[in-house]
Amino acid sequence: MKIRKDIRNVAIVAHVDHGKTTLVDQLLKQSGAFRDNQYVPERIMDSNDLERERGITILSKNTAINYNGIKINIVDTPGHADFGGEVERVLKMVNGVVLLVDAFEGVMPQTRFVLQNALQLNLPVIVCINKVDRPDQRAKDVIDEILELFMELGASDEQLDFPVVYASAKNGFAYIDEVKDDMTDLFETIVNFIPAPTSEQDCLRLLISALDYNDYVGRIGIGKIESGAIKINDEVVIVNMHSLDAPKSAKITSLYTFNGLEKKNIEHAEFGDIVAVSGITNIKIGDTICSPDDVAPLEFSKISEPTISVNFSVNDSPFAGQEGKFVTSRHLYNRLKKELNTNVSLRVDETDSTDVFKVSGRGELHLSVLIETMRREGYEFQISKPQVLFRNIDGKLNEPMEIVTIDVPEEFSGSVISKLGIRKGEMISFDHLRENFVRLKFSVPARGLIGYRSEFIKDTHGNGVLNNFFDNFQPFKGEIISRSYGSLVAFETGVAVAYGLFNAQERGELFVKPGDKVYRGMVVGKNNRLGDIDVNVCKKKQLTNMRASGSDESLILTPPIEFTLEQALDFINDDELIEVTPKNLRLRKKILDPKIRMRQK
């Protein structure tokens, strides 16, 4: 058996917002990856604008640092359940993981998910308790929670003997026994505890676990060399364990390794190295690059299936083409197809209409990130209400179920239990946490969660934390009562004025303000009652109106609701669409003409 003592491959895994990316920042800085005078922004690994704005990691990232002559390849993974597919795959690239846990929040739903994946692959785990500088930290209790989780997930005796490092990624220190002012103890623990890569054979095996894309070279496959060596101009064979396609021959035209935040061109790499290769047409996740002398695919878990879908369609509103740069069905289809090069949990299907495409993903956040990205690139299109994807299993209709964990002040727990009960949620557990906080765990149909987040924020006055992840498919749970309100729909095309809005706001809450352009069939507000109402927000006060004494006060308008994309997806009904442009999000009826809408009803 051969061993590479100069390399360690490790993934940083954790629940969302527990500090993975900030920790990687510090490891990069303290390993000398940057010049002394180099400007380094916070969360440098989150290179995507949306990642920086939302404070979440969407795509796994590769980097590498050098510590005392040992190269440590680090993979920074997403913490949100919608991007869990990224975590499942990249763990195949590493020989161990650093499990990061918040010293206050402790074990959370995604902590369980990522740890379960690591234990199933028999990866050794370093536990890092982050944010120990918080005044409300409870590190000792959190370690007990983690130990219980290990035992609950069936960890072996070797896996239970995990090292614990205490850290403050924000302040740049980590220690085991005594507080220090740098990350040395974490570096040392990774080098001493994470096993060095080994190989039992000389034939090339390179498993593709992640994808990148470049307009000049096309798809770039990223993976760890399990055995053998690879060099530029090598003739190789591509096979896939889950594909019936015949093996195909290819040639390695470019080879890169990671160094800090950069890809570095190299001529040659050996087992244990994490590399990127280009020049192979249509390379995909799960492909094994083999030597022609010994062709055999490496085992790889199948990519998780999507659970939710929306229809992307060409914008056909009266304002179509006024704000977007890319507006045709060809633009839309080409962009969605390009997304498939790297977003492997996504599915794009054509429909009966040439202007409508069905896009399926892992959750609302997964799809909304794509929508927001396209919007910023200048695309203009329409989105339907999200729909869950049912399955027929043994002749019965089955639907995706989610495990929902909610931390909330006890005073709001009754409202949460009631609302999720209406949405066919079944309570699994009810635990008291700290200072009147409780943790509720439910099994809820995925369709029951569509539209719930905005209600949850309102019901808990913003004090609750909701986490969910896909569990399994179960028999259909029955009809769920849809929203308990209707829409206020513009009656004519024009510009909204204060007088018309003042009359309309008696019916509910408005989404537009004076001066906004509206068109007939556009949703301009929320009706406080069931059913839709047509309103004329463009109506001006007649100049000939006689004014009674005391009626000259200025009109007082309630500030309109401004939707985020996720809130808009939550709000719309089955007969409504979201018009997405680089400048605006507008809600509208599928059928704009009120007479035709009434006839259909």
pLDDT in tens, 310-356: 999 999 999 999 999 999 999 999 999 988 877 777 899 999 999 99
| Choice between 65 and 328, residue whose per-residue pLDDT is larger | 328
* pLDDT at position 523: 94
Using the predicted structure, report yes or no on whether residue 36 has a pLDDT greater than 50.
Answer: no
CATH number of 308-388: 3.30.70.870
Query: In this predicted structure, which of 138-152, 385-399, 411-425, 538-552 has the lowest mean pLDDT?
Result: 538-552
Q: In this structure, are strands 486-490 and 533-535 parallel, antiparallel, or unpaired?
A: parallel
Q: Could you list the beta-strand ranges (E) of 319-436.
A: 347-350, 356-361, 381-384, 387-388, 391-393, 396-409, 426-432
Q: Rounded to whole angstroms, how far apart are CA atoms 443 and 470? A: 10
Confidence of residue 34 (pLDDT cuts 50, 70, 90): very low
* pLDDT at position 57: 39
Confidence of residue 48 (pLDDT cuts 50, 70, 90): very low
Average pLDDT over residues 416-434: 88
Query: In this predicted structure, which of 18-32, 183-197, 494-508, 553-567 has the lowest mean pLDDT?
Result: 18-32
Q: How is residue 81 written in tokens?
A: 């359940």
* pLDDT at position 482: 67
Confidence of residue 200 (pLDDT cuts 50, 70, 90): confident
Using the predicted structure, report yes or no on whether residue 59 has a pLDDT greater than 50.
Answer: no
* pLDDT at position 545: 55
Using the predicted structure, report yes or no on whether residue 58 has a pLDDT greater than 60.
Answer: no
Q: In which residue ranges of the chain is CATH 3.30.70.870 found?
A: 308-388
Collapse the DSSP code of 237 into the 3-class scheme (helix H, G, I; strand E, B; otherwise coil) and give the result. strand
Q: In which residue ranges of the chain is CATH 2.40.30.10 found?
A: 199-290
Q: How is residue 323 written in tokens?
A: 């704000």
* pLDDT at position 127: 92
Looking up tokens 């794509």 gives 370
Count other C-beta atoms under 10 Å from residue 433's C-beta.
Answer: 13
CA atoms in the 13 A half-sphere facing the CB of 29: 23
Average pLDDT over residues 425-452: 85
CATH class assigned to 391-475 = alpha beta
Residues contacting residue 7 through CB under 8 Å, at least 6 positions apart: 70, 71, 72, 73, 196, 197, 272, 273
* pLDDT at position 541: 74
Residue pair 94/13 in contact (Cβ under 8 Å)? The answer is: no
* pLDDT at position 44: 42
Q: Rounded to whole angstroms, how far apart are CA atoms 446 and 421? A: 13
CATH number of 486-544+551-600: 2.40.50.250
Confidence of residue 359 (pLDDT cuts 50, 70, 90): very high
* pLDDT at position 319: 93
Minimal CA–CA distance to 63: which of 21, 114, 6? 21
What CATH architecture applies to the domain 2-196? 3-Layer(aba) Sandwich (3.40)
CATH class assigned to 199-290 = mainly beta
* pLDDT at position 581: 94
* pLDDT at position 461: 83
Average pLDDT over residues 265-290: 86
Minimal CA–CA distance to 99: which of 120, 123, 83? 123
Confidence of residue 192 (pLDDT cuts 50, 70, 90): very high
Confidence of residue 546 (pLDDT cuts 50, 70, 90): low
Average pLDDT over residues 513-530: 92
Q: In which residue ranges of the chain is CATH 3.40.50.300 found?
A: 2-196
Confidence of residue 240 (pLDDT cuts 50, 70, 90): confident
DSSP string, 152-220: HTT--HHHHS--EEEEETTTTEEESSS--SSSHHHHHHHHHHSPPPEES--S-EEEEEEEEEETTTEEE
For the chain, the C-alpha Rg in angstroms (whole number) is 27
- CA–chain centroid gap for 334, Å, is 22
Collapse the DSSP code of 113 into the 3-class scheme (helix H, G, I; strand E, B; otherwise coil) and give the result. helix
Q: 3-state secondary structure string, 488-556?
A: EEECCCEECCHHHHHHHCCCEEECCCCCCEECCCEEEEEECCCCCEEECCCCCCCCCCCCCCCCCCCCC
CA atoms in the 13 A half-sphere facing the CB of 291: 14
Question: pLDDT tens for residues 462-514?
Answer: 788 787 777 889 999 888 876 778 899 999 999 999 888 988 888 889 999 99
* pLDDT at position 51: 38
**Mean pLDDT computed over every residue of the chain:** 83
Minimal CA–CA distance to 353: which of 390, 382, 374? 382
Q: Which amino acid appears at position 128 of this protein? A: C
What percent of the chain has a predicted confidence (pLDDT) above 70? 89
Q: In which residue ranges of the chain is CATH 3.30.70.240 found?
A: 391-475
What percent of the chain has a predicted confidence (pLDDT) above 90? 23
Q: Which amino acid appears at position 121 of this protein? A: L
Count other C-beta atoms under 10 Å from residue 569's C-beta.
Answer: 25
Residue pair 300/284 in contact (Cβ under 8 Å)? The answer is: no
Alpha carbon distances (Å) from 25 to 32, 101, 376: 11, 17, 27
Confidence of residue 199 (pLDDT cuts 50, 70, 90): confident
Q: Rounded to whole angstroms, how far apart are CA atoms 572 and 562? A: 14
List the beta bridge partners of residue 379.
326
* pLDDT at position 552: 38
Minimal CA–CA distance to 407: which of 470, 471, 460? 460
* pLDDT at position 302: 67
